[in-house]
Structure formats: C-alpha cells, structure tokens
Amino acid sequence: MKASRPGGSSWTVHLALAAAQTGFALFPIFGKLALVSIPPFVIAAIRVVSSAAMLEIVRRFSPSEPVRREDRRLLLTLAILGVSLNQVLFIVGLSLTSAINTTILISSIPAFTLTAAVLLGREALTRRALVGTLLAGAGALVLLNAERFDWGSRLFRGNLLILANSLSYSLYLVLARPLLARYSALTFTAAVFRYGTLPILAVSIPALAVFSPEVPARGAWWSLGAVVLFSTAVPYFLNSWALARVSASRVATYVFLQPVIAATLAILVLGERPGWRTWMAAVLVFAGLALSIGVRSPLTTSELSPSGRGG
C-alpha cells in the first residue's frame, strides 16, 4: 500500500467541502440555463468529456501514480455510480423537474449514504438515525406526490430520477474511501472520469448525432462552460480530497449547503416559486437529516490523521 499522505488541517477540509458543495449547488442553476437550448444528453456528454480532459491534463503534469490492476474493477464501478449514472440521471431529471425540487431531493444523499454505510458495515445505525432516515424518506415521497405515482407526469419522472441520482452518488461516496486511502485525490478523480466517459458517450450518441452546435444561444454555452469547470471538475476534485480525510457521512452532511444556495438562486435567477408540497417536503427532509446525522463536533484529530483515511 502506498504511503499515507498528510491529512490536512480542520479548516482546509471544511473549506474544501464547503467549496465543493457550492459548486454542486450552482449546477441546477447553470444547468437550467443551458437546457434552454442544449439537450440533456449532449450536456451530460460534454460535461463529462470536458471535465475528464481537464483532469487528465492536470494529472499528466503531476507526479506519476499508476493505477493498480486489481483496483480497476472497483474504479469502473465507482465511475459508473459517481459519473456515468450520476450525470445522466441528474441532468435528465433536472430537465423534467424544477431546480428547487432538485436541490431538496439531493438533500437525501446523507440519508442514503448513512444507510449504505450501515449496510456495508462501515458505520453503526442508531435508533435516532433510523427515525431520521424514515423522516427524510417521507419528505422525498411527499415531493414525489406518492399518493399517485403518475409516470405520465414530467415532475414525477424528474423527481424520481433525481432521487435515483442521489442513491447512486451515495454508494459512490461510501465505496470510494478504500481507494482514496491508496491514491491521491487527483489520480483518483481523473481515473473515475476517464472510466466514466465511455458509458456516457455510448448513451449520448443518438443525441450528439443530431445536435447542431450553431443552434444554442451564447448564454447556453457560457452556462455549460460554468457547469464543466465550477460544478464538475473542481468540486469533484475537492470532494475526493476531503473524502480521503474524513468519513463518507461527514462529507455527505455538507450536502445541506446545496439546497440553501441553489433554492435561493432558483428563486432570484430562474424565478421559481415553491408550493406547499415543496415546503412540506423540505421540512421533513431537513428534520430527518438533522435527526439522523445529529450535530457533529468539529473535525477530530483522528479523522484528519493519515491513519483515519482508510475505508
């Protein structure tokens, strides 16, 4: 196993997590602006391929760190969960639902992450965590309009896809930690995007074949550029760097920042107005997550030390 790297100080880890979630929170806003004239699968393909190219260029100018053959299967799994499925489910879901609904459902990531960590034996489940997870799940069902599962409704399909996206990303967070104990954040993130590029290109070929680059407005291209840089490459790298130093559930708690930032911008920039169902879902989700995760103390020395970086 490769030598452990320094853990980083408490404030740098907090800063990295906050910056990563701020970048992710901007995606529903920039994504909605780009979706005005660029199809979802085209955005997904350009987002992943451009981010993969950027990360690969930076990696090649960094110290060489080859990926072991025995780790490639897990990397491929992580690439599918954290990049391929994650990107496609998110952008298609966003095209069908509102930015505010998207951010509320994304807030289910901590509950999904805790559940996955417990099932995989990575963390313990308490009664408080169980009740909180059930509350958060109830909030998601309220937003899905669970009393009538209507697949013909665009909002329902979009909300369900965003929820599936949250589950996919939660599994990625939990399963990624063992590899992040052996590789740098840059090597890991570049490899995940490299492995995740081909599946996305494969499903995006029909949309790319009929797409005309001259059609989208200039603002859509600027928005897509912001998605690639500020909402993909940079936050994925920062998230991986932080995930190597603290638990997956702690990383997931920073998802709380996303709905606050994104919902505010959705109201101010996109002119969205949440209804009573949205507010009720938000209250249930936040109450559930606060109960299940609890108020965590500041990062401890053991969490920040190299020995605390294993999966």
Long-range interactions of 126-129: CB distance < 8 A, separation 24+: 128/291, 128/292, 128/294, 129/291, 129/292, 129/293, 129/294
CB contact at 8 A, 256 and 107? yes
At residue 289, the pLDDT reads 63
What pLDDT band is residue 80 in, cutting at 50, 70 and 90?
very high
- What whole-number distance in Å separates Cα of residue 205 and Cα of residue 208? 5
* pLDDT at position 273 over 50: yes
Least confident stretch, 246-260, 269-283, 288-302: 288-302
- What whole-number distance in Å separates Cα of residue 15 and Cα of residue 247? 16
- What whole-number distance in Å separates Cα of residue 185 and Cα of residue 179? 10
At residue 283, the pLDDT reads 77
Average pLDDT over residues 272-285: 74
Locus of tokens 């090597």: 187
Contact partners, residue 152, CB within 8 Å, separation at least 6 = none
* pLDDT at position 199 over 90: yes
- What whole-number distance in Å separates Cα of residue 241 and Cα of residue 246? 9
pLDDT for 13-55, tens place per residue?
888 888 888 888 888 888 888 998 899 999 999 989 998 998 8
* pLDDT at position 258 over 90: no
At residue 145, the pLDDT reads 63
- What whole-number distance in Å separates Cα of residue 244 and Cα of residue 233? 17
CB contact at 8 A, 176 and 78? yes
At residue 168, the pLDDT reads 93
pLDDT for 134-162, tens place per residue?
777 677 667 666 445 566 678 888 988 99
At residue 99, the pLDDT reads 82
Average pLDDT over residues 109-114: 78
- CB neighbour burial string for 113-151, b if at least 16 within 10 angstroms, e if fewer: bbbbbbeeebbeeeeebeebbebbbbbbbbbbeeeeeee
